[in-house]
């Protein structure tokens, strides 16, 4: 099926699939049936390309990239796969003949929410670019039965619901039960000498679990190659069934079976401060052990009992510490099962793994209580101890006069309880350690991992994040895509730096007004969505000031609230005041156990209720909070944004990737000197970016010298008025005290220094409003943001990983 089908044959395939998979005809089919039939039709067009890819990998004995990630956020697949099979127009025409509309069928798709936020979406952008660039790769992960919770608001409070994403059918996945893998947990180890007097260790586990892989095709834009996203689902073993069922207690046996299948049941909805939960460690080991078994099985068919080639044929990228147990598991497989000598196994392991860090917050570095480890993975704990003891020995040799170093760098922390520091295991057991933006990579070297940098400077490198322009510009913003393509052709889709050619149109008035019209039309679309979903009327000519991301104190949604409340008071105190009409748009989920974050959500909704209804405001300010922000909603929001809020405290946001998606869609950033904001500002030009706030160094110095938030409260009357009004219940007349704790914590601690940055934030936000008032000038800024964002393509990031870390090259497919 390499030649595109005619609309007629596509139509027939569609009808056949409607009949084969849904058991329906056009008359009886509902919208979901039609969507599923269409999805099956598209996926069939990927099968032969996928098979060709596998053969090419075999024939060329290609080096594989294995991306290990506990999270993926692929977004909806239909439009993406139509684009990458070149079938969009054919499908559109074919459906039109049945009076069906492609866009409304695409809306039927439930997106797989198998991740929390940035880290999971980055994994999916990288899978997209790997395929587009032709690098053979497998993304390994977990097929959670329930993804990130569905968020709604009740009386302004966040309410979570289970995300039953498989309910309406999952047309993109292929279960491969015959490729299942058995893995183990618990039990104990036995140490002995074998018949050749060789020291051996045997792990005698207590339970076994089966992993069933599900393949999802990952086609690339303009690329013959189709890669695989391979997600594992947990099943109870049959022998397990037999044993417990025969023991007589049928009901308990079924309960136990459910327990093992719980491993892939649900995604943990926290994206920092991981708590050491047994099930979470089980999930991590489960998917890592299944994936390594799969990788070794494949390698051994090519190189039976020859391990010398392994690091030349497999590069494994660890997406944060979540899959780090893979280092101990590969050591176990090589040493215990395949009987390699420790040093040999260690050399192979280190040359195979590379490690990406996505944080700077020390409290976000994963640690597991030794006791949990012992219970779940007794052999792995021994291996980690062995790795650690050899490491500490080397360390003492290199720094004989610094015994403290061993305490600081030990993989096993001793106080307050014994814990395994996964980041240290990853740093020691891999050949590359990378951050995700220039600033974060520098801070890793100078602070978070300074000791490790001193020890292995050659391992440290930076790979600035990127985003796929296919999903976040071409598909999400068809109007802008058409306008851009009308001037510079479509080469930018695979070579995003070509967007620079738009710079010459900055002086072209016709192009500028077309640019403006596109943004306005996108804003009208979003306004219509806001009207229909939230029943709020917003003015498409107001500035769309947008903050969408996870809810976190360090990201400072609360600072945005202080800005809104400040403007509100200005208007109330002076109803004649001329201000640029402004629509504040929020989207953010809070971890269900994160009380402060949930209170901030309630505050945003409460402020919205008051501001949106106040006749004195007269519609000049509107606050919109979309529930359930996810990839699909993001695709509708970025194209309509004027202003992109990236206001984390400097030194806190590792990179950010939403910031890149906004800039690519022509939004201007209002941001701090943090994460990739810094790179965005350098590239788009300081005059096209509204900067405010402390730098990471200033934050550091201020903290050291003693930070007194109360000083700001006393020096800035508007800040005082704002905080007092929140604290005293202006936005919560029924419960005047509910927000007091938020304000108190700002006045007495203010961990993320909102008050220190408040004055410069208000000022920068005001400059943005003034700049917006001059629409011609604003359009130039907008255009230049798009034109100069080519660097942020995930194609660039992936190419850097491939050449500098994985040492791999594209597959040749005729």
Residue 681 annotated as catalytic: no
Q: Which is nearer to ligand 26Q, 329 or 653 (CB)?
A: 653
Is there binding between residue 655 and ligand 26Q (CB under 6 A)?
yes
Write each residue from 256 to 295 as x if it is in contact with ligand 26Q (CB under 6 A), else as -, in one continuous string: ------------x-xxx-x-----x---------------
Active site residue 359: no
Residues 6+ apart with CB under 8 A from 599: 738, 739, 741, 742
- Which residue of the set 349, 468, 566, 657 is catalytic? 657
The yes-or-no answer on residue 549 being catalytic is: yes
Q: Report CA Rg, the chain.
A: 27
For residue 655, which of 38, 11, 119 has the smallest C-alpha distance? 119
Q: Kindly indicate which of the ranges 22-30, 100-108, 117-125, 419-427 contains the residues binding ligand 26Q, using the contact rule CB under 6 A.
A: 117-125
Tokens of 764: 């920068």
Minimum distance from residue 134 beta carbon to ligand 26Q (Å): 24
Nearest distance, CB of residue 515 and ligand 26Q, angstroms: 28
When binding is defined by CB under 6 A, the residue of 358, 419, 602, 681 that contacts ligand 26Q is 358
- In whole angstroms, the minimum distance from the beta carbon of 462 to ligand 26Q comes to 12
For position 630 contacting ligand 26Q by CB under 6 A, the verdict is no
Query: Does position 436 bind ligand 26Q by CB under 6 A?
Result: yes
Residue tagged active-site, from 143, 235, 358, 598:
358
Q: Which of 36, 37, 122, 683 binds ligand 26Q (CB under 6 A)?
A: 122
582 beta partners: 543, 621
Joined tokens for residue 178? 């015959």
Residues 359 to 398: which contact ligand 26Q by CB under 6 A? 366
Cα 501–chain centre separation: 30
Q: Report residue 72 as tokens.
A: 């993926």
**C-alpha neighbours within 13 Å on the C-beta side of residue 158:** 27
Which of left, alpha, beta for 220 (phi over 0: left; psi -120 to 50: alpha)? Answer: beta
Q: Whole-number minimum distance, CB 669 to ligand 26Q, in Å?
A: 14
Distance CA 506, CA 414 (A): 60
Residue 150 or 655 having the CB closest to ligand 26Q? 655
Q: Return the closest-CA partner of residue 662 out of 693, 626, 634.
A: 634
User: Nearer Cβ to ligand 26Q, position 395 or 548?
Assistant: 548
> Quick one: which of 46, 87, 119, 444 contacts ligand 26Q (CB under 6 A)?
119
Distance CA 614, CA 247 (A): 69
Given 3-state DSSP classes, what are the helix, strand and coil percentages for the chain, each rounded to the nearest 5? 55, 15, 30
550 catalytic residue (yes or no): yes
Which among 379, 550, 598, 602 is annotated as catalytic? 550
Please report whether residue 429 would count as binding ligand 26Q according to CB under 6 A.
no
Catalytic residue among 549, 589, 620, 681: 549
Q: In what helix (H) or strand (E) does residue 802 lie, and over which residues does it extend?
A: none
Q: Does 664 bind ligand 26Q (CB under 6 A)?
A: no
Nearer to ligand 26Q, 356 or 583 (CB): 356
On whether the CB atoms of residues 605 and 659 are closer than 8 A, the answer is no
Between 225 and 436, name the residue whose CB sits nearer to ligand 26Q.
436
* β-strand pairing of 226-236 with 207-219: antiparallel
Both tokens assigned to 88: 């969009």
**Is-catalytic flag, 657?**
yes
Helix (H, G, I), strand (E, B) or coil at 465: coil
Taking CB under 6 A as the rule, does residue 419 contact ligand 26Q? no
CB-nearer residue toward ligand 26Q: 237 or 695: 695
Q: Which of 76, 589, 661, 681 is catalytic?
A: 661
- DSSP β-ladder status, 173-175 and 353-356: unpaired
State how far the Cα of 694 lies from the Cα of 672, in Å rounded to an integer: 7
Q: CA-CA distance, 20 to 14, in Å (whole number)? A: 10
Given the complex with ligand 26Q, which of 548 and 755 has the nearer CB atom? 548
Active-site residue list: 358, 549-550, 555, 657, 661
Q: Which residues bind to ligand 26Q, rule: CB under 6 A?
A: 116-119, 122, 268, 270-272, 274, 280, 322, 358, 366, 436, 465, 653-657, 675
């Amino acid at each position: 099926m390499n030649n595109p089908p005619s609309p007629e044959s596509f139509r027939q395939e569609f009808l056949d699939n409607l009949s084969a998979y849904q058991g329906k005809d056009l008359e009886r089919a509902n919208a979901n049936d039609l969507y599923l039939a269409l999805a099956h039709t598209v996926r069939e067009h990927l099968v032969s390309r996928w098979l060709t890819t596998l053969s090419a990998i075999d024939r060329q004995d290609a080096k594989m990239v294995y991306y290990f990630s506990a999270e993926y956020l692929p977004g909806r697949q239909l439009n993406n796969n139509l684009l990458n099979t070149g079938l969009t127009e054919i499908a559109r025409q074919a459906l039109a003949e049945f009076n069906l509309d492609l866009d409304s069928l695409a809306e039927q798709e439930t997106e797989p929410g198998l991740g929390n936020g940035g880290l999971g979406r980055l994994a999916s952008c990288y899978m997209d670019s790997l395929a587009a660039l032709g690098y053979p790769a497998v993304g390994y992960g977990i097929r959670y039965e329930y993804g990130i919770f569905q968020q709604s608001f009740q009386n302004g409070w966040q309410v979570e619901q289970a995300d039953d994403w498989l309910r309406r059918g999952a047309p993109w996945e292929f279960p491969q039960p015959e490729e299942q893998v058995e893995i183990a947990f618990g039990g104990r180890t036995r140490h002995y000498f074998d018949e050749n007097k060789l020291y051996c260790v045997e792990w005698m586990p207590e339970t076994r679990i089966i992993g069933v892989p599900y393949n999802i095709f990952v086609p690339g834009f303009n690329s013959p190659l189709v890669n695989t996203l391979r997600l594992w689902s947990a099943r109870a073993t049959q022998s397990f069934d037999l044993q417990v069922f025969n023991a007589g207690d049928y009901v308990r046996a079924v309960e136990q079976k459910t327990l093992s299948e719980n491993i892939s049941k649900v995604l943990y909805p926290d994206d920092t401060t991981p708590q050491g939960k047994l099930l979470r460690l089980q999930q991590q080991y489960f998917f890592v052990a299944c994936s390594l078994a799969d990788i070794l099985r494949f390698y051994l068919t090519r190189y039976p009992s020859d391990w010398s080639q392994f690091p030349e044929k497999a590069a494994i990228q660890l997406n944060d510490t979540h899959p780090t147990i893979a280092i101990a598991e590969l050591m176990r497989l090589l040493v215990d099962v395949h009987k390699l000598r420790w040093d040999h196994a260690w050399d192979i392991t280190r040359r195979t793994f590379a490690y990406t860090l996505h944080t700077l917050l020390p409290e976000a570095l994963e640690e597991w209580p030794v006791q949990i480890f012992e219970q779940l993975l007794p052999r792995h704990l021994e291996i980690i101890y062995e790795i650690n003891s050899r490491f500490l020995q080397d360390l003492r040799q290199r720094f004989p006069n610094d015994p403290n170093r061993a305490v600081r760098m030990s993989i096993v922390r001793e106080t307050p309880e014994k814990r395994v520091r996964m980041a240290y295991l990853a740093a020691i057991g891999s050949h590359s350690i990378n951050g995700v933006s220039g600033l974060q990579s520098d801070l890793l070297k100078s602070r978070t991992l300074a000791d490790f940098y001193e020890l292995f400077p050659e391992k440290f490198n930076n790979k600035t994040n990127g985003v796929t322009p296919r999903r976040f510009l071409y598909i999400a913003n068809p109007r802008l895509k058409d306008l851009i393509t009308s001037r510079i052709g479509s080469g930018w889709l695979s070579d995003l730096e070509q967007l620079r050619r738009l710079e010459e149109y900055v002086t072209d008035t016709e192009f500028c007004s077309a640019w403006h019209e596109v943004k306005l039309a996108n804003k009208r679309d979003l306004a219509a969505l806001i009207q229909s979903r939230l029943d709020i009327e917003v003015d498409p000519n107001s500035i769309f000031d947008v903050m969408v991301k996870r809810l976190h104190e360090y990201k400072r949604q609360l600072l945005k609230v202080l800005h809104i409340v400040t403007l509100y008071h200005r208007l109330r105190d002076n109803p004649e005041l001329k201000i640029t009409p402004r629509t504040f748009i929020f989207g953010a989920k809070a971890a269900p156990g994160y009380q402060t974050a949930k209170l901030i959500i309630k505050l945003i909704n409460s402020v919205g209720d008051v501001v949106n209804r106040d006749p004195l405001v007269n519609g000049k300010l509107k606050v919109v909070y979309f529930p359930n922000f996810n990839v699909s909603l993001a695709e509708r929001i970025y194209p309509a944004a004027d202003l992109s809020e990236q206001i984390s405290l400097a030194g806190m946001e590792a990179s950010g990737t939403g910031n890149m998606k906004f800039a690519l869609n022509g939004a201007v950033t209002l941001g701090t000197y943090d994460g990739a904001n810094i790179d965005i500002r350098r590239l788009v030009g300081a005059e096209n970016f509204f900067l405010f706030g402390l730098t990471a160094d200033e934050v550091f110095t201020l903290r050291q010298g003693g930070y007194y938030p109360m000083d700001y409260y006393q020096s800035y009357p508007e800040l005082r008025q704002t905080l007092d009004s929140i604290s005293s219940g202006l936005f919560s007349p029924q419960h005047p005290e509910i927000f007091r704790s938020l304000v108190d914590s700002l006045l007495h601690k203010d961990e993320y220094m909102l008050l220190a940055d408040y004055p410069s934030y208000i000022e920068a936000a005001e400059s943005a409003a003034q700049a917006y008032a001059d629409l011609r000038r604003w359009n130039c800024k907008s255009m230049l943001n798009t034109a100069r964002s080519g660097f942020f393509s995930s194609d660039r990031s992936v190419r850097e990983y491939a050449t500098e870390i994985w040492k791999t090259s594209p597959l040749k497919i005729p």
